[in-house]
């Protein structure tokens, strides 16, 4: 099987490494990144101190990367996903599986990435569009630490075939047919991770963090089920698993954004210090628009939005959340 990973960021590079027992092509937007991988087996701008396996061949030529691929793994961030896919569109067969690694929302359309794929490729079989998601911090995966993920595809048989492609000694992969739930959970948890980072940055302890994560899970479940996701998906790796990892780890870019805010830095300062995308900074606005459209209460996302876009402080928004009236724990959930 000819496998191509499109996008040589930290996660795209780590996934290419996972699949490198067989030859895999990795497309990099920047020619210097492709050259560094091929000549030095290194991607220092995105995954420092990682020895890229010899089975990974990098290129900055999109046509070379995509032509004749039997499986396309799309690791381009949400803001660039459509443009790169559109450039490759004439080269993609209607039944070539496309697996998204991106955990974001397209701001202009409020589409999930599999929806963007179908929009850009109207003749492409929608059953071949899916997502790989879960508690997958790129650095830990690259180091070979034990982890698990979900491959979500509408076609269960295809999901099972792709499960075998991704599954390895230190990387367990489960299948799910709930693409909406798995994908929306990935986008929503980024917003929640910013809030958790704020709590960490302010020095709060585990009671506070556990409370926050639990309420965040309920919030993302309300939104995800309103979009058509299945409640159990949010209790699994795509939901709770990814939420815990992203809310607890300083490897998470979204957590780092929140942590900096909690320590008094501005969003602009924090983003300027990062050379990689924190999806939550961009996607919070889209998540708020989706929640308004669906009529779903999202107090955490609203307060994260106040900090990101209106200049509110972490202390102000966390104080607001603690001062809200406490109703039923399961209010608004589909049971």
Spatial contact of 82 and 120, defined as CB atoms under 8 Å apart: yes
How does strand 147-153 pair with strand 129-133? antiparallel
Report the C-alpha dihedral over residues 35, 37, 43, 46, rounded to 10 degrees.
80
pLDDT at 334 (0 to 100): 60
Q: Classify burial at 44, counting beta carbons within 10 Å of its beta carbon; exposed 0-12, middle 13-18, buried 19 or more.
A: exposed
Spans of all domains in the chain: 3-177, 181-323
pLDDT at 329 (0 to 100): 77
179-201 and 299-310 helices, crossing angle to 10°: 60
pLDDT (tens digit, 9 = 90+) per residue, 46-59?
A: 999 999 999 999 99
Mean local confidence (pLDDT), 187-202: 95
Mean local confidence (pLDDT), 146-165: 98
pLDDT (tens digit, 9 = 90+) per residue, 6-15?
A: 999 999 999 9
Task: Calculate the average pLDDT of the chain.
Answer: 95
In the structure, what pLDDT confidence band is assigned to residue 335 with cuts at 50, 70 and 90?
low
326 vs 334: CA distance, rounded Å: 19
**What DSSP designation does 106 have?**
-
Spatial contact of 117 and 131, defined as CB atoms under 8 Å apart: no
Q: Which of 103, 189, 230, 265 is catalytic?
A: 189
In the structure, what pLDDT confidence band is assigned to residue 264 with cuts at 50, 70 and 90?
very high
189 is catalytic: yes
Q: How many other CB atoms are there within 10 angstroms of residue 327's CB atom?
A: 8
Q: How many other CB atoms are there within 10 angstroms of residue 316's CB atom?
A: 13
Size (the chain), residues: 335
The reply to whether CATH 3.30.465.10 applies to domain 181-323 is: no
Mean local confidence (pLDDT), 314-319: 90
Mean local confidence (pLDDT), 238-245: 97
List phi, psi (to 5°) of 59.
Answer: -150, 150
pLDDT at 235 (0 to 100): 97
pLDDT (tens digit, 9 = 90+) per residue, 56-68?
A: 999 999 999 999 9
pTM for the full model?
0.93
Looking at CATH, the fold of the domain delimited by 3-177 is given as: Rossmann fold (3.40.50)
Q: How many other CB atoms are there within 10 angstroms of residue 91's CB atom?
A: 16
């Amino acid at each position: 099987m000819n496998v191509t990973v499109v996008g040589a960021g930290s996660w795209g590079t780590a996934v290419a490494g996972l699949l490198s027992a067989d030859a895999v092509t990795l497309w990099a937007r920047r020619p210097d990144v492709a050259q560094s991988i091929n000549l030095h087996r290194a991607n220092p701008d995105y995954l420092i101190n990682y020895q890229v396996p010899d089975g990974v061949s990098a290129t900055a030529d999109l046509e070379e990367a995509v032509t004749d691929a039997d499986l396309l793994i799309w690791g381009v961030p949400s803001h660039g996903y459509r443009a790169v896919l559109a450039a490759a569109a004439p080269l993609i067969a209607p039944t070539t599986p496309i697996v998204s690694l991106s955990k974001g929302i397209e701001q202009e359309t409020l589409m999930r990435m599999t929806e963007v794929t179908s929009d850009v490729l109207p003749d492409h079989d929608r059953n071949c569009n899916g997502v790989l998601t879960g508690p997958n911090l790129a650095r830990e995966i690259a180091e070979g630490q034990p982890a698990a993920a979900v491959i979500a595809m509408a076609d269960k048989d295809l999901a099972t075939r792709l499960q075998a492609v991704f599954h390895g000694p230190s990387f367990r992969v489960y299948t799910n047919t709930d693409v909406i739930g798995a994908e929306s959970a990935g986008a929503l948890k980024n917003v929640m991770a910013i809030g958790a980072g704020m709590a960490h940055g302010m020095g709060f302890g585990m009671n506070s963090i556990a409370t926050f994560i639990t309420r965040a899970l309920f919030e993302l479940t309300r939104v995800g089920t309103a979009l058509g996701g299945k409640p159990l998906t949010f209790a699994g790796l795509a939901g709770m698993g990814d939420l815990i990892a992203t809310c607890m780890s300083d490897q998470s870019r979204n957590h780092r954004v929140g942590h900096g805010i909690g320590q008094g830095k501005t969003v602009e300062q924090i983003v300027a210090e990062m050379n990689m995308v924190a999806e939550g900074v961009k996607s919070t606005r889209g998540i708020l628009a989706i929640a308004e459209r669906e009529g779903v209460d999202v107090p955490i996302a609203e307060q994260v939005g106040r900090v990101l876009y209106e200049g509110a402080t972490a202390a102000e928004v966390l104080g607001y959340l603690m001062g809200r009236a406490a109703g039923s724990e399961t209010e608004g959930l589909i049971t």
